[in-house]
């Protein structure tokens, strides 16, 4: 899944690098409880809550790779459902625009074993909305500068 965002790669990456905005653009995350001071360095963690109350789950996401402003990879936890590896690739297009590609795959837990076309469709729509929200925040920050 990809989207062209009307902001340069560093501006888009700055949103990814601000752990406190995670619940603003990651669909399904409803609250950020804490962010390691070292975020977004490899190994740093973001503590979040996902899903609707009273069924929300508390877990963490951990940075696996950080190559600013080109690539950002996290392991997103949602136990007991499982965890996913989420990869963001940012490619400069010139004229201050960026092609952002998101790839997400279940890496552990029950969600990994029950993957089917319905799950893929839901994941596709979720990632489409995630990129739309990321774009809104990045372009708003560009306008504020």
More confident residue, 136 or 105: 136
**Contact in structure between 65 and 75 (CB atoms under 8 Å):** no
Query: What CATH number did the domain enclosing 26 receive?
Result: 3.30.530.20
Give the total number of structural domains in the chain.
Answer: 1
Give 65-90 pLDDT, tens digit per residue.
999 999 999 998 775 667 889 999 99
CA 17 to chain centre: 10
State residue 116 phi and psi, 5-degree precision. Answer: -150, -175
More confident residue, 97 or 51: 97
Residue 35's domain comprises: 2-144
Peptide bond into 69 cis (omega under 30): yes
Structure confidence at residue 37 (pLDDT): 96
H-state helical runs in the chain: 9-17, 22-25, 110-113, 117-144
Average pLDDT score over the chain = 86
For residue 114, give the DSSP letter. Answer: S
The SS3 of residue 62 is: strand
Q: What is the Cα–Cα distance from 44 to 42, expressed in whole angstroms? A: 6
Lowest-confidence region among 4-18, 34-48, 114-128: 114-128
Structure confidence at residue 118 (pLDDT): 46
């Amino acid at each position: 899944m990809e989207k062209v965002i009307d902001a340069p790669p560093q501006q888009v990456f700055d949103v990814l690098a601000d752990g406190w905005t995670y619940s603003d653009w990651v669909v399904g995350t409803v609250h950020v409880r804490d962010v390691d001071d070292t975020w977004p360095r490899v190994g740093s963690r973001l503590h979040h809550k996902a899903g609707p109350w009273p069924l929300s789950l508390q877990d963490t996401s951990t940075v696996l790779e950080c190559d600013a402003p080109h690539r950002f990879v996290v392991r997103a936890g949602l136990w007991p459902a499982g965890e996913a590896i989420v990869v963001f690739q940012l490619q400069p297009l010139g004229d201050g625009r960026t092609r952002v590609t998101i790839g997400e795959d279940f890496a552990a837990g029950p969600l990994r074993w029950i993957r089917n076309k319905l799950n893929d469709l839901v994941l596709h729509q979720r990632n489409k909305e995630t990129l739309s929200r990321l774009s809104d925040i990045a372009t708003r920050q560009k306008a504020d500068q």
